[in-house]
Amino acid sequence: MSNKPLTAKTNDKGHFEVGGCDTVELAKQFGTPLYVVDELTLRHNCRQYVSTLKSKYPNSLVLYASKALCNTAVLKMVCDEGLGLDVSSGGELYTAKKANLDLSKVYFHGNNKPLKELEEGVAAGVNIVADNLCELKNLDQISKRLKMTARVMFRINPGIEAHTHEFIQTGKIDSKFGIQKDKIIEAAKIVSGSRYLTFIGLHTHIGSQIFDIDPFVSEADVLFDYAKQIKDATGLEAKELDFGGGWGVSYIDEKPAPVPQLLEKVIQRVRAKAAELKIPEPKIIFEPGRSIISPAGITLYTIGSVKEIPGIRKYAMIDGGMSDNPRPILYDAQYDALIANKISVETCHGKSLQKYRIAGRFCESGDILIKEIKLPKIDENDILAVMCTGAYGYSMASNYNRVCRPPMVVVNNGKSTLILKRETYEDLVSQDVIL
């Protein structure tokens, strides 16, 4: 898997092109920083998951993890491709409603959902993924007051430690996520004793940016084991098993296994466990977010000053940084990049490249987008294109230093469409209350 969109190429001007659009021209038209989403790559990635699953295991559903990138246009595109949604806040749920999506295919996550947002979820008729006993009890009271039945799935802690960054491991024993092993039966009894809660299945998630298939296969064993315990103790049947997401992508030169290989191995284990336990094969669910949207996105920046510290390094300063992409400062995330207006045969073959550190504009020493990268000689006003930024850039963006968040465009067949406006100074102060 490449870290570039499928449509990436060098055009006749020697510029970087995505979706048939010259990225240098995009920077001129919309300004920088600028988030760019390649529609063809996004839809291709959706179809790869949906078609592979449906051909091998028809009783299945793919959910797009909204937290990776959530706005009405993106949610509409992924759901047009047959996906449902995983949301983790009232804001993400509201966005799904504004996009006029099928809310019966929305699953509401979160380890500490506020009561107001739980009520919004029940009223909307979405599936609630319960994370703890307190939430289940609150959910029962809310459903009773609204006189509505809530479909409930338990998020369990599988005790599986995926080999990824500590901050994005979610399935290990010491985690804020999931119902503990010794509380599962108690949770099931709360549901079985309620007139307003309907048990639909089990969910687990082991982390993000994972390249090893085996932890996903191990999830099947854990999920079936808990399903059997619940059935034996309460008679409740887990008709749906949700394996979460977290499949890795190539930011630099990582090599994730093909999606069909991942799905095939999990499906084999699911079928084997169902046969072993002599139970009907359950509906299986996957929640790929990053692996769908990350490769479809790039971010464009304009180079400002270039500073050389003799004997140490060269800095190239961009007009964005940790405000529009906090992942490097949070996780030490690494990215690949190129100079969009200097893509030529010579530079592609590594001639005349120099080492640079790409630094952001914000008042933090740690605001470094790329610690070291070889690029052609960088000059003021060059356009830097950073690869694989579709996920967790805009989602985690902030107004640090009172900087306006960037706009976003979708590109396809030479056409660019604005799907997110650039914030203005007036937006920044719109919620301020003047004494």
The alpha carbon dihedral of 173, 177, 183, 184 has a sign of: negative
Residue from 21, 134, 348, 363 carrying the catalytic annotation:
363
Amino acid at 152: V
DSSP 8-class letter at 404: P
Sequence-separated (6 or more) residues with CB below 8 Å from residue 241: 201, 202, 203, 220, 223, 224, 227, 270, 282, 283, 284, 285
Is residue 5 a contact partner of residue 18, using CB atoms and an 8 Å limit? yes
Alpha-carbon gap, residue 360 to 380, rounded angstroms: 14
Is residue 29 a contact partner of residue 416, using CB atoms and an 8 Å limit? yes
Sequence-separated (6 or more) residues with CB below 8 Å from residue 51: none
The length of the chain is 435
Beta bridge pairs of residue 300? 34, 385
Beta strands in 156-217 (DSSP E): 197-203
Alpha helices in 199-354 (DSSP H): 214-234, 259-277, 290-293, 327-331, 345-348
The reply to whether 134 belongs to the active site is no
Catalytic residues: 363
